C-alpha cells in the first residue's frame, strides 16, 4: 500500500499541478474511509464520482497546457489520462454491481496510479514546463 500523505518528493514544481495532486490525495484519503467494510456504498460511489470529475478537470488543464507549450509527449500523456479514467469507471461499475472485493482494488489502483503518474509522467511535464518558463518560451 502506498502512503496516503503528501510528500515533498511528489512536487512537480508547478503550483496548480501540485495543488491538484494534493487535493486528489485528500479525496483518496476520504474514499479510503468510505471503502471500509460496513460503510455506505452510496457514499463511496459519491466520493468516487467526485474523484472522477476532479480528475477530468485536472487532466483538461494539464492537456491544454501541454498543447499550448508544444509538449512532445502530449499524445502519450493524454492516453495515460484516458486509460486511467476508463479504469476508474470500470472499478466504479464493479462497486455498483456489488463486487465487495473491488473495494480494496480501487484503493490499491488509485494510490499506485496517483503516485506513479506524478513521479513518472507529471514530473517530466513539470521539468519541461519550468524549462520553458525560465527560457521565456512559456
13-134 has which CATH code? Answer: 1.20.120.50
The answer to whether 5 and 117 are in contact (CB under 8 A) is no
6-43: string of b/e by CB count within 10 Å (b at 16+)? eeeebbbebeebbebbeebbebbeebbebbeeeeeeee
Question: C-alpha angle 55/43/32, rounded to 5°?
Answer: 65
User: Where do the domains of the chain lie?
Assistant: 13-134
Confidence at residue 27, expressed as pLDDT on a 0 to 100 scale: 94
Which pLDDT does position 16 carry in this prediction? 93
* 95 phi, psi to nearest 5 deg: -65, -40
- The pLDDT profile of the chain, 138 residues, written as one tens digit per residue, is 446 788 898 999 999 999 999 999 999 999 999 998 888 899 999 999 999 999 999 999 999 999 999 999 999 999 999 999 999 999 999 999 988 788 888 988 888 888 888 888 999 999 999 998 777 765
In this prediction, residue 38 carries a pLDDT of 84
Amino acid at each position: 500500500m502506498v502512503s496516503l500523505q503528501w510528500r515533498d518528493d511528489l512536487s512537480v514544481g508547478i503550483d496548480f499541478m501540485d495543488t491538484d495532486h494534493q487535493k486528489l490525495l485528500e479525496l483518496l484519503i476520504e474514499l479510503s474511509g468510505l471503502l471500509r467494510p460496513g460503510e455506505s456504498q452510496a457514499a463511496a460511489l459519491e466520493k468516487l464520482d467526485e474523484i472522477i470529475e476532479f480528475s477530468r478537470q485536472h487532466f483538461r488543464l494539464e492537456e491544454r497546457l501541454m498543447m499550448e507549450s508544444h509538449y512532445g509527449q502530449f499524445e502519450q500523456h493524454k492516453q495515460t489520462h484516458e486509460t486511467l479514467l476508463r479504469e476508474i469507471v470500470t472499478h466504479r461499475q464493479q462497486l455498483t454491481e456489488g463486487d465487495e472485493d473491488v473495494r480494496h482494488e480501487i484503493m490499491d489502483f488509485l494510490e499506485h496510479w496517483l503516485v506513479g503518474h506524478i513521479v513518472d509522467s507529471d514530473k517530466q511535464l513539470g521539468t519541461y514546463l519550468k524549462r520553458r518558463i525560465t527560457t521565456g518560451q512559456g
